[in-house]
Amino acid sequence: MAQLLDIAIRAKKRAEMQWLQSAQVSLEKGVANDFRGKPGKRQVTVLTQEGWQAACAEASVELPWRERRANLLIAGLDLEESSGAVIRIGAVKLLITCEADPCQRMEEAQPGLFAAMTKQWRGGVCCQVLEAGKIRAGDEVVLIRGQ
């Protein structure tokens, strides 16, 4: 079973990531209190634990996943080439709009991490909220293709 492991938000650009056990997700604001949550293709970002661990291993570093600055950490799903699919977490549905390209901050965190994240969609995915609701760490995650 795929699972939501963690949730994180930030109040503004370059702000520290705040770790949450649960969060409200809305059509208007994405993950509540996250500065990037406005409607659009990059409303919520999702990272896989497997992708993050592979990128860190390639860059020879151990970093907490929040260094990636994504909103949601999931385990047990392969999101490579998943644009157009839907991620369901409880009642929440997120449309995968595109790959989340790594930014230069990854290279600041560790030389070589940027390049390691560009492979196999290790940087995660960007999503738009389709259906709102509350999510909690531990929730089951399902990938729905071909809707």
Residue 65 in tokens? 């996943």
Domain count for the chain, please give it.
1
Give the structural domain span for 98.
2-144
pTM of the model: 0.94
Pick from 54, 65, 37, 44: which is nearest to 121 by CA?
54
Any idea what the CATH number is for the domain that residue 19 is in? 2.40.33.20
Reported as a single tens digit per residue, the pLDDT across 19-49 is 999 999 999 999 999 998 999 999 999 999 9
What is the pLDDT confidence band of residue 147, given thresholds at 50, 70 and 90?
Answer: low
Strands (E), 72-132: 72-75, 86-89, 92-99, 125-131
